[in-house]
Chain A
Amino acid sequence: MMTRFQLLLVLTLSLLLLGGMVSAQTDPGVQSGNRGTGAALSSVLANSPSGILSFFTDGQTRFETIESVSGNAQGNNGLGPRFNANQCSACHAQPAVGGTGAAVNPQYQFFSTGVVSSSGNTLPSFVTANGPTLEARFPFFFNSNGSVNTNSPNGGVEDLFTVTGRSDAGSCSIPQPSFATAQEEGNIIFRIPTPTFGTGLIENLDDSTLLSNQMVNLNNNVGVSGTFNHNGNDGTISRFGWKAQNKSLHIFAGEAYNVEMGISNELFPQDRPLPGEDGSGGTGDTGLVSSCLNLSGTGYPEDTSNFSATPNSAVLDDVSAFANFMRFLAPPPTGSVVLNGQTVSSSTISAGASLFASIGCAVCHNPTPGTTQVSNFTSSLSKAPVNAYSDLEIHAMGTGLADNVSQGTAGGNQFRTAPLWGLGQRIFLLHDGRTTNLITAIQDHASHGSEATIVEEQFFELNSTQQQEILDFLRSL
C-alpha cells in the first residue's frame, strides 16, 4: 500500500523525468521540405556561356543511366565484372540526383530487380533494405588459411556484386569476396556515398586559399591541428572523397565509374580486379580471368569519347559528362527546420550557428574556408564563397572512427572534415553511415586519438536549450 508520501514522491519524480524528456535535446531529423537541392548553378541555368546548360542536362541524364554488361542498344555497356551499383544515381540520390544514399537502399533490391543474379551472388548481410547504401573495404588481406594478416594492409574496395549469372555476362563466373568471414573477423569497413552538390566550388578553391585558412584554424584552443592530403602526381592538395584522396571531379568520377560500376574509362582504362586478384597481398594471382574481360565486346576502355556524335555534349565520354554535371550542381540551399511538427524560429537557427562556432566546431567545419578562383567554366564558379562547413583538411579522428584504410597520405585514423552543407537532408551520418542521429554523430567525434574530443566535450557542457539550437542549426544546412 503506497503511502501518501510515496505517491507524492512518485508523482514528483515522474514530472521531473517528463520535464527532462521535454527539455532534452532532439535531432530534428531529415528535413523533408523541398529546398531546391539538385539544381544547376544560376549561371548554368542561364546557359552562360552558351551551350553549358546542355552539358549539365546531358551529364545528369548519363548520371542516371542504367548500365548493362553487354548488348545495350544505346551503348551503355561495360558494367562489371564487379560492381556496387549500375548507375551513379543509385548511390547519389538523396535528397536529389547527385546527393548521397537514399532511405530505401537500392542495393538490397538488386536481386529482385534483376541487376544481380542469385546464381553466383548472395546478398551480404550488412546490405539492408533501409540501411545505408554501402561500399565495403577489407583493411587487411587474408592469409591462405583464412586468418587475417594484419601485416598486409589491403584497404581497396571489395565490390559487393559480380555479373555472374546475368544473361548479358556470357560465361563470366567469379566469386564475391568473403564478406561473411570478413565480418566475423572484424576485417571490414564501410563507406557511404559523398554528396556532390557544390563540388564545383570546392574544386575551384586554390591551394593558397586552403593554406591560408589552415593558418586561421591553427589559432585554436581546442587541440585541433590538421593537415592536407596531397595528390601523388603533382603534389597539390587533393580534396574529394572521405579522406580527401581525389584531386578533381574528373578523377572522382573516373575512379567511381571504374571501382563502383566496373566500367573502364579514359582515366582508368582497364577493368578492375579486386586488390588480391591483381596479385596484391601476396596472392600471386594475375588479374581477372579471361572469361570476364571485355564483356561488353567493344574493347577498352569501355567508356570513350564519341568522336562523331552530335550535339557537342554527346562527344564527351561519360566520365567527363559526370564531372560536368557534378561541377555545375549548385550548393545545397539552406532551409527551415521542423522539429516535432513546429517550424524552428530563425533566431534559434542563428543562435545555433553562433554556438557552433563558439564551442569550436567551426575550427574544422569552417563555414566558409574561402572564395573560389576565377572560373573558366561559368561565372557562378568565379569568386564565389564556398560555404561548405569544411576546411577540407584531414584530421586524426581517433580509434572510434578509424577504419585502418590509408589513402594518399591519409592514415587509417584520418578523415577529411565532412562538408556539412546539405546536412539537413542527409539520412545516414559519418563515413560509414553508422548512425542517423546527429547527437550520436557528435558523440562519435570523441575517442582515443581524436582531435575533436575537447570540442565534443564542450558541446555537452552546453545546456539542453543550447545543444538543441546547434542541432536545429545543423538541420538547416
Chain B
Amino acid sequence: MLSRFLSLLITLGLLFSPRFVGAQTAKSATPPNGGDFAPNPKVLNKVPQGVILVKGAWSSASDTVTPVPEGGSLANNVFTDRYFGISYTLPPDWEEKYQGPPPSDSGLYVLAQLRPVDSFKGARATVLITAQDMFFNLLPANNALELINYSKDHLQADYKVEMRPSPTKIAGRSFTFFAYWSPIAELHWYVLATEIRCHAVEMIMSSRDTKLLANLVLDLNRMKLPADGEPTSITGDPVCIKDYARDENMVARVEPLFSEHKVNAVPVRIIIDKQGNVRHIHFLSAFPDQEKAITEAMHQWKFKPYLQNGKPAEVETGVMFGRAPRRMPSRGAAPATTE
C-alpha cells in the first residue's frame, strides 16, 4: 500500500518537475534563464566594448618583471622599450593612435606605429617600429642586414630603390639605411635597421614628403639606444644564441604534451640562468593550454652552464613547438656588416 502511494508521489513529482513539464508541454515556450536565454534579467551588465576577451594564440611570459619585446609603452610623448633599451621621443603633435597587433607566430613584433595627430595640418607620415625575432624568422635571412638585402632584392615591381642598403650610425649605433619609393603612389619609405638581442629592429618611415622623412631620420639621433656592443641595461643582457636548446647543451629535457591545440606554431623565447635552469619563458604566440604544458616541461629542463670568457653567463634562445612553419632556405650565413 505504502509502496503504491510512494510510486504515485514520485510520478506526480516527476510530472510537475520543470524539465519534465518542458518536455511534455509542447506549447509552453517559456524561455529558461542562462545559456542562450536571459528573457527577464535580474542583472544587466555590459560586455566591455573595444576589448578582446576571447583570444586565440597570444603572447605571455612566465613573469612580469623580465622585460619582453612587446612591453614597450608611450608616455609623455616618449616611446620606451626596456627589452631593446630604446627610448624614442616623438615629434611634436605625433601620437600612437592605434597600438600594434600582438606578436606573430613568425616572430614579428609591431612595437609602435606613430603618426601625426588627426588635427595636424602639415605633411603626413608614419613611423613604424618593428622587431623581427631572428630565431623564428621565416625569410631567408640570418641578421638585420640580410633581411634588408632580401627586402631590397624582392621589392614589388612598382617600387624603385632610392638608396641601396648602406651602413650608417644612429645615436652611436650601427644601422643599415635603405630607401625606396613608389612613383605611382608618390610614397617614400626610409628603413633603418639594426640588430639587438638577435632581433632585427627596424624604424620604417613613410611619407610623400621627403623633407619630412629626412627630418625624421635626423631626429633619430636624439633616440637613446644601446651603443654597439653595449647591453640594453646596466644589468647586462643574456648571450643570445640561435638553436641553443640542442642535445649537446642540455642535461635534461622533457617534451611538452599538447592535448588541445596542436596545429599552430608556438614560438618560445627562454632565458637560461647561469646554473642552466630556465628562469624566464616568453611565449610569443600560444594558447593557454600550450603555455601550461610548455611551462611544466621546461621546469624540468636542465642545461650545461654556458661559459663566456670562462665565466658562467645567461643565455637567451628560441624554441619552436607545435607545428613549426617551413622556413625559406637561406642563401648562407653571411655575417651582418652592421655587427
**Digit string of A267-310 for contact with B (CB within 8 Å is 1, else 0)?**
00000001111001111011001110000000000000000000
Task: Establish whether residues A291 and B23, one from each chain, have CB atoms under 8 Å apart when the complex forms.
Answer: yes
A155 to B113: give the CA distance in the assembly, Å.
31
**Digit string of A197-223 for contact with B (CB within 8 Å is 1, else 0)?**
000000000000001001110110111
* B53 interface hit (Cβ, 8 Å): yes
Task: Establish whether residues B102 and A396, one from each chain, have CB atoms under 8 Å apart when the complex forms.
Answer: yes
Q: Interface segment, B7-15, B30-38, B244-252?
A: B30-38
Task: Establish whether residues A454 and B126, one from each chain, have CB atoms under 8 Å apart when the complex forms.
Answer: yes
Interface band, chain B: 35 or more
On whether A154 and B42 interact (CB within 8 A), knowing A227-B265, A411-B56, A446-B98, the answer reads no
Task: Establish whether residues B151 and A219, one from each chain, have CB atoms under 8 Å apart when the complex forms.
Answer: yes
B260 → chain A closest CB, angstroms: 10
A182 to B126: give the CA distance in the assembly, Å.
39
Q: Which residues of B contact A462 (CB under 8 A)?
A: 185, 187
Q: Which residues of B contact A395 (CB under 8 A)?
A: 101
A446 → chain B closest CB, angstroms: 6
A84 → chain B closest CB, angstroms: 15
Interface band, chain A: 35 or more
* B16 interface hit (Cβ, 8 Å): no
Task: Establish whether residues A409 and B264, one from each chain, have CB atoms under 8 Å apart when the complex forms.
Answer: yes
Q: Interface segment, B200-208, B293-301, B309-317?
A: B200-208
A454 → chain B closest CB, angstroms: 5
Residue in chain A with minimal CB distance to B261? A409
* A354 interface hit (Cβ, 8 Å): yes
Task: Establish whether residues A274 and B56, one from each chain, have CB atoms under 8 Å apart when the complex forms.
Answer: no
Task: Establish whether residues B41 and A147, one from each chain, have CB atoms under 8 Å apart when the complex forms.
Answer: yes
Contact among A147, A176, A281, A411 for B44, CB-based, below 8 A: A147
* B43 interface hit (Cβ, 8 Å): yes
Task: Establish whether residues A148 and B45, one from each chain, have CB atoms under 8 Å apart when the complex forms.
Answer: yes
**Digit string of B119-133 for contact with A (CB within 8 Å is 1, else 0)?**
000001110101000
Q: Interface segment, B72-80, B85-93, B104-112, B213-221?
A: B104-112
A184 to B28: give the CA distance in the assembly, Å.
25
Q: Return the 10 tightest CB-CB contacts between A and B, nearest first.
A: A146-B41, A276-B35, A411-B56, A225-B104, A171-B26, A412-B54, A146-B38, A283-B35, A396-B101, A175-B31
| Residues of A that sit less than 8 Å from B by CB | 120, 138-148, 150, 153-155, 158, 164, 170-178, 181-182, 184-187, 211, 214-216, 218-219, 221-223, 225-227, 230-232, 235, 274-277, 280-283, 285-286, 289-291, 351, 354-355, 357-359, 362, 395-396, 398-400, 402, 404-406, 409-414, 446-451, 453-454, 457-458, 460-462, 466
